[in-house]
Amino acid sequence: MTIRGPFEPEFKDLPDQIPIFPLTGALLLPGGTLPLNIFESRYLAMMRDAIASPLRLIGMTQPNKDRSSNPYYSVGCAGRISSFSEQDDGRILITLTGCIRFSATSFSERESGYLIADIDWNNFKEDLSIDEAPIDRATLSAILKQYFDAKGFRVDWSQLEACSDEKLVSTLSMICPFDVAEKQALLEVQNLSSRAELLTTILQMSCHDDYADNAKH
């Protein structure tokens, strides 16, 4: 398997704790990029601390409203702050590049108000390399066209066709307006082939629901 890039962390260097940014509906996957607009004081403190740390890692996870005992999903994805820009109004614009998924074993709160978590990386070591397993791209592309037509989305197909399999699946999983449970399922699935299959199924179900709704009107 191919290593993602020269700035990616090595597995042996990953810390036992990382700051956590919980955000509903936000999905980060290894190799993907996620822009964030930071303006709350606790998250500004988080960004300053993360930028000053050796690996500049932040963990993205979703709040879990269905489990009162654990308000956050335990599986998330660590992203490296690959760029940031300080704004005149006090905001920080950052870009996270997805590195590796994690299992959070416990959450706690810093004095500055943001979350940190104890992290277990062991189940996701392969995330640090590019997943080059084959996918059924033809089927995915066909249902994707139906999905975009049903939603009325305009798409630059030449850009999508130029993407690698992993980039295509990760980007679609991150940007399509799926619900929280669907996003979490796409995150937790084991590998690229399984994620592509699940993505195709979710797209098919969404198209079916849209057609059924249109038939009622």
Residues 23 and 59 in one domain: yes
Q: Per the structure, how many domains does the chain have?
A: 2
Cα separation of 106 and 195, whole Å? 26
Last residue of a domain, one of 68, 96, 129: 129
Mean pLDDT of 193-210: 90
Which tokens in the block code for residue 79?
A: 């992203």
Which one is predicted more confidently, 35 or 6? 35
Residues spanned by the domain of 122: 2-129
Q: What pLDDT shows up at residue 2?
A: 72
Whichever domain contains 82, its CATH number is 2.30.130.40
How sure is the predictor about 1, in pLDDT bands with cuts at 50, 70 and 90?
low
pLDDT > 60? residue 214: no
Q: What angle do CA 39, 65, 47 make, to 5 degrees?
A: 25
Last residue of a domain, one of 82, 109, 129: 129
How sure is the predictor about 66, in pLDDT bands with cuts at 50, 70 and 90?
confident
- Output phi, psi for 134, to 5 deg: -70, 150
Task: Concatenate the DSSP letters of all residues of 73-86 into one string.
Answer: -SEEEEEEEEEEEE
